[in-house]
Structure 1
Amino acid sequence: MTPHFLSIHFLLPFILLFTTITTTTLAQTAPAPAPGPPPPTNITKILEKASQFTTLLRLFSITKVGDQINTQLNNSKSGMTVFAPTDNAFSALSAGTLNSLSDQQKDELIQFHVLPTFISTTQFQTLSNPLRTQAGDSTFYNFPLNVTTSGNTVNLTTGVVNATVANTIYTDGSLAVYEVDKVLLPMNLFGPQPPAAAPAPEPVKKKKKNGDDDTPADSVNSTSSAVDLRVGLHGFIWGLIAAFIAMLCL
């Protein structure tokens, strides 16, 4: 071997060691890439991942409530809460229940399952009834939704059906999705209708006295005036006759 080749062979391990140290140092000092923004919350993807919510997803699509929830979530700081009935819950409804509803009624039904604020599991114990849903008016014959708790059990009642929160599907501090074992049927669509307003009372009729008839007062007054006129005229004529006779006797 030549002296030049021996020098390179002797220095090769040091060159490799230097290269390794340099590469490791650069890798440690290079800043890590900044994490990208989290993807927007999507209720549809959450329910698809959880499975067993095919019917609810179909109604979300028909009514556009799914898009509405996603939009509100990404433009509001209040958050939202969704009560999600399973496919088994929808199957338990009477045959033709959903098909009998108009598009507006389907929208009201699904909006009734959505609260416009984020509710954690611990907050259910301190809520005031009735809850305000996206369906609107929460008075008795419209869209009342009440919550009660017993230990860790959360029950919901609509006045038509009682349901239980069976599981937490998703929660991130902005959106909470809870599985419920029954479809929440609102009073406005499935409950008894409010009682009809009482009819206005009829005008009170005065009781007739003995001898009274139904002759209008104006007619009675007119008749009385005519009689008085005739009596007065007869008296005047007889007065003239009496005066004439008295003159003859003079």
Structure 2
Amino acid sequence: MAGKRRGPGRLIMLVVMVGLLVSAFFLVDFGLRAFAEGQAESQIRDALPASATGDVNVSIGGVSVITQYVTGSFDEVELTAPRLTVDGVPASIRVVAADVQPKLGGSIGHVVATIDLTPEALNNLAHAAGTPPETELVLGTDEVTYTGNLDVLGITTGYLATATPSTTPDSLLFTPTGAQVTTELGTLDLSGIVATVLGQTPIRICVAKYLPAEVAVRSADVTPERARITLDSSTLVLTTQSLATLGTCPG
């Protein structure tokens, strides 16, 4: 009878021990997660170009860091840098990487990043890319506006242009889609001025020289508060050379 009475007690003790073991596992796992995130932050900071300043935060997703590490791939790693500055250009950056091999030189299955630029930062980039200093991009909803001048029969004629954003793998483009003349020209036909503005080449802002060479620009959108550029890559690897080797801009 005594043995039978000890049975439930042993079962309860076994359950308690398993519970403690699971708790210990998650405590260790939490510590390893924090350590791994700290190591990743340190390596990324070291790999950034010397002109970059600002805090970089790393978060490792998934249930268990230990399990992911043993299987050789982290499900998801998120990097955020809300106030990163590169070559004097401030931006808010978020990067989400999937299937990340947790080792130096490891591959990354896919990376998607978003960069938010303030209107001032966007204009600084535009001017650095060759846009005339007097051209100021004013952000709106899904479009920008800017002013310019044309010579019409010896008269300097001002205009206000509307442009929409698009991208190439290395650049952000603003293509004129509408225009209105801002200078009073009496009875002169103004249709030619509008046609000339609409025929202008897009304003091109190459951003490749600020990004790892393996990263491409995929899309862009604007609001009155910011310009957002979306980037991606399926060939980036975790090496100092890969992260620090930047792209190039034509010309």
TM-score normalised by length of structure 2: 0.23
Q: Where is the strand percentage greater, Structure 1 or Structure 2?
A: 2
Q: Where is the helix percentage greater, Structure 1 or Structure 2?
A: 1
The structure that has the greater radius of gyration is 1
TM-score normalised by length of structure 1: 0.23
